[in-house]
Chains A and B, each alone.
Chain A
Amino acid sequence: MKAVIGLEVHIELKTKSKMFCGCSADYFGQKPNTHTCPVCLGLPGALPVPNKKAIEWCSMLGMALNCDIPLFSKFDRKNYFYPDLAKGYQISQYDEPFCLKGSINLESGKTIGITRVHMEEDTGKLIHQAIDGQDVTLIDFNRSGVPLVEIVTEPDFDNAKDVVDYLKKLQQIARYLDISNADMEKGDMRLEPNISIRKAGEAGLPNYKVEVKNINSFKFVEKSINYEIDRQTKILNEDKTPIQETRGWDENKQKTVTQRVKEEASDYRYFPEPDIPPIRWTKSEIDKLRSTLPELPQEKISRFQKQYNLSLYDTTILTEDLTTSEYFETAATAGARKISPKQIANVMINKKINIDEILPAKLIEEVTISSKKINISEEELLEAVRKILKTNPKIAQDYKKGKDSVVQFAIGQVMYIMKKKIDTEILRKLIIEELK
């Protein structure tokens, strides 16, 4: 038996304004219903006008995922009723999305197919609470109409580890493109794995699938997938078929729980959104957009390996996020001819330096200094320490009285006789050990 897993991921874009109106899309932590207008409230007569930047960003994400960008695309209406959906339909894309047929390579060497990347709008948010002892549901429309990109994969995964790797890569790409903060905790990224199990000897997709909805952490995705694989395997081993349903992850119980059993496929009555003319790209517009793509993680890794002669392990860590990679490159430039990129990489990776606190140039200075100290062996240093302590017995006496400041005096004395730059931290340790 083998797991068959596909993924739907929603990523909220960080455009200034919403998808179809001029309201600010920066709703997180804002007072409810303050970022609204007739359009995102779905008031009578209001019409949507698409956000060009959001469409470009969606397309760029598709490009980064090696998708085809069709010259013709359109928006569709997805009709359903829910109180957080102001218009009675969500503007989404059905059969002609902005991006189709992409792929992404994983650490495991596997390639995952990207079915599509499309654009849609977020809904409002329902808040269930008690007011004056009465259970009420409030609606906050600040999130209504915020641009969402949905990335759908082929059912190409067979284990949770690959899924998490994919998600990390997707998050990294979104951040590299600077189109989303992809912050899980703020709900910028929402994950929905579809999981089923293919029996040994069976071909094609299983005749059921279980969807786990609205997971907001990579860890929970991993846990819920592993839980589902176990659960479904047990059912199949009893010669039964798991129910096709939507489940949710319950972190307290450490298991998935039934949310909604779908008796039949929902019918969203999709049809082309008549309020928005179709989008027609010219080839040159697409080429131009493609030319604005920044260097993506994979490209950066290859370049770092080549340009700085680093290992895959080092480059992968250094390119994890743009801040780190930019820091490394600045430091490498600053340290040219003084110190090797590998040394910088070592310091950054092994010493886990806080790059927000120390400027690259300063780091280079320190690394240069400490690299010279390497010329002194520990034995040589220890010899000097003993010599100083012997000629100055008062140091030991004062230290025993609790006068810690004498250590600093000892350091100065050692430095004086050595006439070399020494790592004072190592020296301090040696002196204290000797004093004990």
Chain B
Amino acid sequence: MNYSAYSIKDLRKGFKKKQFSSEQVVKDCINDIKDDKLNAFITICEDEAISKAKEADKKINEGIELPLLGVPISLKDIYLTKGIKTTAASKVLNNYIPQYSAPAVEKLEESGAIIIGKTNCDAWAHGSSGENSDFGPTENPYLEGYVPGGSSSGSAVSVAKNLCFASMGTDTGGSIRLPASFCNVVGLKPTYGRVSRYGVISMASSLDSIGHFTKNVEESALILSITAGNDPKDGTTLSEKVDDYESYLKKDIKELRVGMPKEYFSDGLDIRIKNLIEQKLRDLEKLGAKIEIISLPNTEHGTECYYIIQPAEVSSNLGRYDEIRYGNGRENFGDEAKRRIMLGTYVLSSGYYDAYYKKAMQVRTLVKKDFDEAFKKVDVIITPVSPTLPWKIGEKVNDPMAMYLSDVYTVNINMAGIPGLSVPAGFVDGLPVGLQILGPHFSEGKLFQVGQAVENL
């Protein structure tokens, strides 16, 4: 059976009306994953998922209500899952079986979700295309031979191709928003510290955000209402109250002030993408939104500094993966990981620290200030997610700089720690284009409000 037209709500209604069981849905999804040629999954949790589905069916029959009861979801293979192999798409961890699960995963399971599999991604979440996976690249579901965006490539594809109903990803510099944009799904990067990072393999600790992919904005709000919250195990999560996100979905956007940062609509942007996003902005204007051109003057420097701070943290975070502990020597790190380890080690070395890392952290403060200033004038900011359309697999693998530049519109959001929501904006030449909605810290509700309006256009 094909569930592409089914939302999570529809699925749950179907369960209740006994149109199908969770077990049946899970089995259908697993078959679809097996048949799929896009290489979206590294591990399929067949036995575990089916047995969990049976339990879910029992609960459904007992009338137990849980927001994701019986709903199959997938996890980027960077989320630790107790007893289930977790590789970070790297050969270094090709046989690593965690002793514990990430609290975000536990929360989803407590809400009834069924983990159907672990998705492919760029190894250690390093990349913008999904091609850095040691388990082979994932392909774009819309055009053969094109990249799906990375690093959470398999997660975006798993939702876009209806292999599951939602997927957890991570976003350190755009790794959720970019593949969401390239695969025509909704991707949320929450505020830094909104969702616990515990049990999710760290890439760059001060930038990593724990977010997700869904088919629509409403479901994005639903998942966040489950994963968000303070976690005593993660000292960087904040005690801010978790909003009633779904209550924002019905709000209109009259008088909403929308900022359009000129730096995000300049020369490097594909004109076709520009036209598409500007059309969406005009449509929002018709609904009563006030569009304002704003400036985020440190955008360019922010991007440069991201590529100092991020590798610095990567070089330290990857230090623990050695042969003694994990059975695979450091020579198993791929080129991109090695590149970041070397870059990061260099910028942290004595004599260079002040010139690179320290300076970059100062610029980071300026980037944050840019957004703080902007949000005094506007409620949200709308920008394209990527300056280009998805590219062909292999096109940029030998040009790391070109690959890094695909992140220019996303990395500063991580530098500032603010939330960003990528929603589908249409197609150019058969390839999806996304737009991202940005707001101040903890304004996810507002992003869903605007995202819903864009989705309704």
> Chain A residues near B395 (CB, 8 Å)?
none
Whether the Cβ atoms of A50 and B345 lie closer than 8 Å is no
Within 8 A of B (CB), among A224-283: 265, 267, 269-272, 274-277
Q: How far is the CA of A398 from the CA of B343 in the complex (A)?
A: 97
Of the candidate stretches B11-19, B95-103, B263-271, B285-293, the one touching chain A is B95-103
Chain B residues numbered 163-198 whose CB sits less than 8 Å from any CB in chain A:
197-198
Interface residue? B457 (CB, 8 A)? no
> Is chain B's interface secondary structure helix, strand, loop, or mixed overall?
loop
**Docked complex: B96-114 residues within 8 A CB-CB of A:** 96, 98-100, 102
CA distance A171 to B234 in the complex (A): 35
Binding-face segment, B126-134, B347-355, B379-387? B347-355
- CB contacts (< 8 Å) of A265 on chain B: these are 350
Of B29-37, B135-143, B316-324, the one contacting chain A is B316-324
Indicate if B93 sits at the interface (CB-CB under 8 A).
Answer: yes
Q: Which B residues are in CB contact (< 8 Å) with A271?
A: 312-313, 316, 348, 353, 357
Kindly specify which of B199-207, B218-226, B430-438 makes contact with the partner chain: B199-207
A45 to chain B, nearest CB (A): 4
Which of A6-14, A78-86, A284-292, A373-381 lies at the interface with chain B? A78-86
Also in contact, A43 and B234, with CB within 8 A (given A87-B319, A87-B320, A274-B205): no
B350, closest chain A residue (CB): A267
**Nearest opposing residue in chain A for B200, CB measure:** A45
Give the A-B contact count at a CB cut-off of 8 A.
92
Asked if A81 contacts B319 (CB within 8 A), the reply is: yes
Cβ-defined contact, B235 with A275, below 8 A: yes
CB atoms of A269 and B316 under 8 A apart: yes
Q: A49 contacts B233, CB within 8 Å?
A: yes
Q: Does A47 contact B (CB under 8 A)?
A: yes
In the bound complex, what is the Cα–Cα distance between A89 and B233 (angstroms)? 19
The complex places the Cα of A270 from the Cα of B86 at a distance, in Å, of 29
How far does the Cβ of B196 sit from chain A's closest Cβ, in whole Å?
A: 8
- A271 and B153 alpha carbons, distance in the complex (Å): 31
- In the complex, the answer to whether A274 meets B320 with C-beta atoms within 8 Å is no
Within 8 Å by CB of A274, from B206, B345, B353, lies B206
> Within 8 Å of chain B (Cβ to Cβ): is A88?
yes
What is the bound-complex CA distance between A86 and B318, given in angstroms? Answer: 12
Contact partners of A83 in chain B: CB under 8 A: 324
Task: Name the residue on B nearest A79 (C-beta).
Answer: B316
Question: Are the CB atoms of A44 and B319 closer together than 8 Å?
Answer: no
Q: Which residues of A contact B233 (CB under 8 A)?
A: 47, 49
Measured between beta carbons, the chain A residues less than 8 angstroms from B345 are 269
Task: Given A44-B88, A49-B232, A49-B233, answer yes or no on A274-B313 (Cβ-Cβ < 8 Å).
Answer: yes
| CB nearest to B358 among chain A residues | A271
When chains A and B are docked, how far (Å) is the Cα of A46 from the Cα of B315? Answer: 17
User: Is residue B236 within 8 Å, beta carbon to beta carbon, of the partner chain?
Assistant: yes
- Enumerate 19 A-B pairs (CB-CB under 8 Å) in ascending A order: A44-B98, A44-B201, A45-B102, A45-B200, A47-B198, A47-B235, A79-B316, A81-B319, A81-B322, A88-B320, A265-B350, A269-B315, A269-B345, A269-B350, A270-B348, A271-B313, A272-B361, A275-B234, A276-B235
Using a CB–CB distance below 8 Å, which chain A residues touch chain B? 38, 42-50, 77, 79, 81, 83, 86-89, 265, 267, 269-272, 274-277
| Nearest 4 interchain pairs by C-beta | A88-B319, A274-B206, A269-B348, A274-B205
- Given contacts A49-B234, A275-B235, list 17 more A-B pairs with CB under 8 A: A42-B320, A44-B88, A44-B96, A44-B320, A44-B321, A45-B98, A49-B235, A81-B319, A83-B324, A87-B319, A89-B316, A271-B312, A271-B353, A274-B204, A274-B206, A275-B205, A277-B235
